[in-house]
Structure 1
Amino acid sequence: MDKDKSSLRYNCKRDFFIGVGTLLLNLLLIYYFWQNNLVLTLALISVSLIILLKFTDRQETIFYFTGFFLGPIFDLILVPRGVWDYGNPAIYGIPIWLSPSYGLGTLMVVKIGKSLSAFFGSKQEK
């Protein structure tokens, strides 16, 4: 039983650090490359592929693609209405890197949320 708890704690920490790393990497890539849509899109897709292939389960992959497809819908509806705008738009007023960024953001929220839930849930069980 101790082995199960330690492996849960390890996965909890791993997911937390993957989530925080995803957040920081997403922010840094957008901060430095927002003016070059192609480079930023390729970088975010590369990060997405690495994380999806090495560090996610099936459920997290579904969350990623849900964010990837549903996230930009608000932008596609509201940006043309002038609610906000992007500094380097490409298609219908939004940048092409937005979908992978939403996917990574969704994955980041899921990973950090699951790890915090497991961590604080295990504290209450003691």
Structure 2
Amino acid sequence: MMYVGGAQPPVSCEDATVAISRRLDTPRHRFSVDKYHPEEFLVVFAAHEFRSKALGVPSVEHDGFKIFIKHWLRQAQAKSRIMSMQVDIMIEGVPSHAWSRYTAAELLGSSCLIESLAPET
């Protein structure tokens, strides 16, 4: 993951590619640079050695801009969400004297919110 720091001019993928190639002395065909939100770029290297070389450099400066390099983590931009989906669930094998909303809630745990029980139960 790489991003342009501070108040600097817009940097294209081509500009970033040239900067990375020159600063890291890495052939352009050994990595790819793509736009990536919320950071500026996602850089994928063809080999682990090139990636390690890039992570060993804190930043790349070129033509008036500075690109900062950091390790990309999938979880870094993860957001938690509650998924709301209504489904019908059939629970079998509960004795009729124990069947109630409370029993269903105990069996299902926190994975469900019980909206209603079928009238035939």
TM over 0.5: no
| Greater strand proportion | 2
- The higher radius of gyration belongs to 2
Q: Per chain length, whose mean CA-contact separation is higher, i.e. which structure has more relative contact order (CA < 8 Å, sep 6+)? A: 1
| Greater helix proportion | 1
